[in-house]
């Protein structure tokens, strides 16, 4: 098994800080303060951008301090016009923050491919945009449009407040396989929050981040949807770590950019518990 230094390439900026988003919805000022602490902690290199709703940009600007140098991902919650206003305001605070990427959701009630094309036509932010892949029919056509654009990313929701909102391992495996086939990088929204697949208190099944990392690696090695589903269904961290140890970390992370964590400390503790992360001794 590789030592923890070897794993750092796999974990670099893996955890997007989603404390200000549902289900946590920490006040933005508190989320900024917590994120500032994470960025100064011993595990800072595994922490990605702070995700903030675009509508909350006034609170974000008020909470920033000169010299913060915080990476921020803006999540469109009031349409593209609201996202553009938030971006412009954030650019005026380059002394404290920089825009990492934006996240947008396709409008509902439209053909997914047409909605993806229309959304891309109106995106002009000079930073990557992660576009949420629809859960319903014809989602694959939306993925094809995003991949053809060449400059964007997919946003895959892998958790939700109700078990019915969580994709099955077969469904997630199919989406991963298509994204990999089209060379489309992706971020994970809504989790996963634990290292391996598990049953949540509400009785629903939840995905593990080690499962997804290992599934992406297996997919890059040519595994089909059925094998990816089996990797996503694994409940032991040992077999997943064995898979990951045999795969190039940089290649996995070229496809899987990050996952959103509503509380960064939990996944960090889990990474420590399975031996992927350790604090250096003084």
Give tens-digit pLDDT for 81-119: 999 999 999 988 989 999 999 999 887 777 888 988 888
Is the per-residue pLDDT at 135 higher than 80?
no
- pLDDT tens digit string along 223-267? 999 999 999 999 999 999 999 998 889 999 999 999 999 999 999
- So what's the pLDDT on residue 281? 64
Q: Return the closest-CA partner of residue 108 out of 129, 138, 82.
A: 138
Between the CA atoms of 280, 247, 265 and 272, what dihedral angle is there, to the nearest 10 degrees? -50
- What's the longest Cα–Cα distance across the chain? 57
- So what's the pLDDT on residue 279? 85
Fold classification of 4-273 (topology level):
TIM Barrel (3.20.20)
Distance, CA of 167 to CA of 188 (rounded, Å): 12
Domain definitions of the chain by residue range: 4-273
Distance, CA of 156 to CA of 167 (rounded, Å): 10
168: left (phi over 0), alpha (psi -120 to 50) or beta: beta
Distance, CA of 166 to CA of 208 (rounded, Å): 12
Q: Return the closest-CA partner of residue 223 out of 177, 281, 258, 188.
A: 177
- pLDDT tens digit string along 24-67? 889 999 999 999 999 999 999 999 999 999 999 999 999 999 99
Cross-strand bridge partners of residue 51: 73
Is the per-residue pLDDT at 191 higher than 80?
no
- pLDDT tens digit string along 140-170? 888 899 888 876 799 998 877 677 778 899 9
Count of residues in the chain: 282
- So what's the pLDDT on residue 39? 95
The string of DSSP letters for the chain reads: ---HHHHHHHHTT-EEE-TTSTTT---HHHHHHHHHHHHHSTTGGGEEEEEEEGGGHHHHHHH--TT--EEEEEE-SSHHHHHHHHHHHHHTTTTTEEEEEEEEEPPTTS-HHHHHHHHHHT---SS-EEEEPPSSTTHHHHHHHHHHHSS-EEEEE---SSGGGSPPHHHHHHHHHHHHHTT--EEEES---BSS-EE-TTS-EE-BHHHHHHHHHHHHTT--HHHHHHHHH---HHHHHHHHHTS-HHHHHHHEEEEEESSTHHHHHHHHHTTS--PPP-
Strands 153-157 and 15-17: unpaired
Average pLDDT over residues 189-200: 85
């Amino acid at each position: 098994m590789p030592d923890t230094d070897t794993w750092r390439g796999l974990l670099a900026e893996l955890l997007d800080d989603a404390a200000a988003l549902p289900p946590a919805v920490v006040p933005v000022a508190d989320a900024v303060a917590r994120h500032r602490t994470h960025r100064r902690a011993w595990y800072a290199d595994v922490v990605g951008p702070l995700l903030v709703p675009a509508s909350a940009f006034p609170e974000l600007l008020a909470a920033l301090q000169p010299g913060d140098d915080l990476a921020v991902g803006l999540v469109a919650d009031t349409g593209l016009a609201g996202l553009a206003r938030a971006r412009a305001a954030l650019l005026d605070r380059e002394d404290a923050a920089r825009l990492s990427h934006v996240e947008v959701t396709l409008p509902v009630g439209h053909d997914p491919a047409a909605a993806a094309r229309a959304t891309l036509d109106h995106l002009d932010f000079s930073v990557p945009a992660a576009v949420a892949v629809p859960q319903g029919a014809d989602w694959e056509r939306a993925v094809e449009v995003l991949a053809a654009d060449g400059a964007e990313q997919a946003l895959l929701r892998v958790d939700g407040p109700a078990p019915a909102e969580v994709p099955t391992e077969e469904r997630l495996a199919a989406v991963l396989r298509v994204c990999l086939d089209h060379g489309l990088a992706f971020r994970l929204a809504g989790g996963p929050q634990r290292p391996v697949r598990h049953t949540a208190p509400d009785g629903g099944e939840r995905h593990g981040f080690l499962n997804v990392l290992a599934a992406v690696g297996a997919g890059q090695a040519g595994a089909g949807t059925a094998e990816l589903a089996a990797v996503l269904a694994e409940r032991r961290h040992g077999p997943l770590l064995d898979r990951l140890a045999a795969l190039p970390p940089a290649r996995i992370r070229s496809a899987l950019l990050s996952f959103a964590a509503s509380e960064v400390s939990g996944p960090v503790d889990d990474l420590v518990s399975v031996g992927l992360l350790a604090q250096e001794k003084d």
